[in-house]
Structures are given as structure tokens and as C-alpha cells.
Structure 1
């Protein structure tokens, strides 16, 4: 039998914060016709295009941490809205490359400003977006995100057929 936790666990707090953050971004971006997930796609595309990259859907999925199938669905919706252009990669006909349209760049620039202002407000308890506490918090989050979900399973032939 496990003992009750004296307070919320870090996992519960991360989950609650992630949900709070997503809802806040969804609400802030609604006037621009974007969701938080769509913003992750267009803002990432914006940054990648600024350095000359035209990523595939797979590359964008890896960059954002979203599932490739979800990025494909988001890209189709953004294409239908006139914000993203999807084209076949000339080097790999199975791959689809993504790029912001002119309208997509304009909407994304406005969205980046909206989200930056929102983050400034949400991070005020830590001193704001550029505060030392926020930098430390960001570093801690990056450490957690860099940790694999599960330890690698050794391929020991003597354990084949055994259940974990």
C-alpha cells in the first residue's frame, strides 16, 4: 500500500501547468484563427524558414515534439486556411515539405507578438520573460524534456522469452 503524497507531485503540477498554458495560448490566439498546436507549427516554420530551411512534415514533427500524423493534419488545416504551402520534396517523393505563405508569415508574426506578450504576463511571478528565474526555470524544463521516457531495454539473449 502506498502512502498519500503530502502535496501535489511534480508530474501533476507539470500537467496542470501545461494545460493552463495551452488554454491561455488558445484563448489569446483565437482572434487570429489559430490554436496552440497550429501556433507551434507556424512559429516553428517561421523560425526554420528564417534560417533557410524548408522542413518536411517529419522534420517539423521532430522539432515540435508533435506526432507526425498530427503535424500532417495540422498542416492540411493550415493549408486550407491559406497559411501553409505543402509540396512534394523533389529528393523524396514520399516526403511533404512545408512553407509559410505570405499570409501565413503575416499571421505568424502577429501570433508571435501575442504569445510573447502572454508569456511575459504568465511569467511575471518569476520576474518576466527575460528574468534570471525564468532562465533557470527554462533550463530545468529543458533538462526534463531531454530525459528519455524510459530507460533503454538491454538486448540480453538470456532474457528472451521472459516477461518484464
Structure 2
């Protein structure tokens, strides 16, 4: 006989933590005219651009883990706000390249500073951003993120033991 619930599952806790952090970042960057999703896009673009890259919407979607259609929607909104520019890739006319405008770079620098300060507060229970517990937590999250979603498909096990 069951003595009640064993407690929240890891999946539930990850979902709750993701929502808590999303809300915190939304609130932190709202004064700059950004949402958490937009911040994820412009901060990633900022880092890529500083490395000399002008990524396509697809590459930025892959980098952020967001759906390509959602990145396209966010990019159009950010373009309307004057923060990014979208241009056709001269090597592939189907691809759209993204770059921050000067205004976009300034807003992104401010947003990164705000989010870094917030991150320090959010990670304080683990000892702060540079603490051993935070590094271990980051490694565990990376392991989970790197794991494939679908189970591996066995090599032709379905055909084993069946006549041709």
C-alpha cells in the first residue's frame, strides 16, 4: 500500500525551475523592452556577432534551442523595434541572416549586465556563479541537455530471426 506521493519528480522540478527563471528574466529585461525569449535571441546573437559570425535564423534557432518558426517571429519583432536587421544570405537566397543594429548592441549589453546580476542572485543558494556546487549543477544540466530525446534505435533487431 502506498504511503503517499514520494515527492516531486525531477521533470517537474526542472519545469518549475525553468518557469521561475523565465519569469525572473522577463521581469528583469522588461524595462529594456525585451522578453526572456527575445533576450535569449539577442544575447546569443551578440556573442556570435562578437566572434565575427553573422548567423542565419536557422543557426540561431539551433544555438538557442528555439523552434525556427519562433525565431523568425521573434526576429521580425526585434527588427520592428530597431534592434536587429534581417538580410538575405548572398550564398543562399532562402536563408535569412541576422545582425544586431547599433541600438540592438547597446540594449543587449545593458540586458546582459542585468541578467548577469540576476543570475548571481538566483545562484546564491548554490554559493554563487563560480561556486563548485554551481559548476556541478551546470555539468548535470549539460548532461541532461546533451542526452537524445528519442531512445536509440537498435540495429535491425526487428529483422532478426525473421526469414527474408
Q: Normalised by the size of structure 2, how large is the TM-score?
A: 0.92
Structure 1: where are the runs of 5+ without partners?
Answer: 160-164
Q: How does 1:1-164 map to 2 (within 5 A)?
A: 5-154=5-154, 156=156, 158=158
Could you give the per-residue CA deviations for residues 65-123 of structure 1, whole angstroms, max 9, x where no partner exists? 00000000000000000000000000000000000000000000000000000000011
Matched residues in 2 for 1:135 and 1:158: separation? Answer: 42
CA RMSD, 1 decimal:
1.6
Matched residues in 1 for 2:44 and 2:110: separation? Answer: 14
Matched residues in 2 for 1:67 and 1:113: separation? Answer: 26
Matched residues in 2 for 1:23 and 1:47: separation? Answer: 23
Matched residues in 2 for 1:9 and 1:158: separation? Answer: 33
Q: What is the CA-CA distance between 1:5 and the residue it aligns to?
A: 3.8
Distance 1:3 1:54, change over 3 A: farther
Q: Which has the larger radius of gyration?
A: 2
Matched residues in 2 for 1:94 and 1:56: separation? Answer: 10
Matched residues in 2 for 1:8 and 1:157: separation? Answer: 36
**Structure 1 residue ranges (4+ consecutive) displaced by more than 2 angstroms after TM superposition:** 2-5, 152-159
Aligned residues: 158
Matched residues in 1 for 2:39 and 2:74: separation? Answer: 10
Could you give the per-residue CA deviations for residues 36-60 of structure 1, whole angstroms, max 9, x where no partner exists? 0000000000000011000000000
Structure 2: where are the runs of 5+ without partners?
Answer: 160-164
Could you give the per-residue CA deviations for residues 13-39 of structure 1, whole angstroms, max 9, x where no partner exists? 000000000000000110000000000
Matched residues in 1 for 2:157 and 2:132: separation? Answer: 49
Could you give the per-residue CA deviations for residues 120-154 of structure 1, whole angstroms, max 9, x where no partner exists? 00110001111111111001000000001111334
